[in-house]
Amino acid sequence: LAKTTQPISMDSYEGQEVNITCSHNNIATNDYITWYQQFPSQGPRFIIQGYKTKVTNEVASLFIPADRKSSTLSLPRVSLSDTAVYYCLVGRGGGFKTIFGAGTRLFVKA
């Protein structure tokens, strides 16, 4: 089962770009990488998903190197409302093979 390692916490200031890196050394060939954002007492909110190279949507970018053993979530110009826990998941189709770690607690300061 693919396990992920993320920093426990990160601090940033409003307007800065935040990059959160996730290690997943034993990612399987057909695994996808997915990032979720979670606020206290709410369900995780899907941010972005990718398989290789770079993926960008309206809220974030996901950078995946060629060996796919890590990935970086990039949040441009964060605001106070981006203070949340960010989870990196590696797997396919949900289920028992897709494991949530402890996540990264991002704190954005004014």
Buried b / exposed e along 40-58 (16+ C-beta atoms within 10 A): eeeebeebbebeeeebeee
Q: Which is nearer to other proteins, 13 or 51 (CB)?
A: 51
Name the residue nearer to other proteins (CB basis): 57 or 79.
57
**Rounded distance between C-alpha atoms, residue 85 and residue 107, angstroms:** 9
18 vs 50, which CB is nearer to other proteins? 50
Is 71 a binding residue for other proteins by CB under 8 A? The answer is: no
Interface positions with other proteins (CB under 8 A): 32, 34, 36, 41-46, 49, 87, 92-96, 98-103
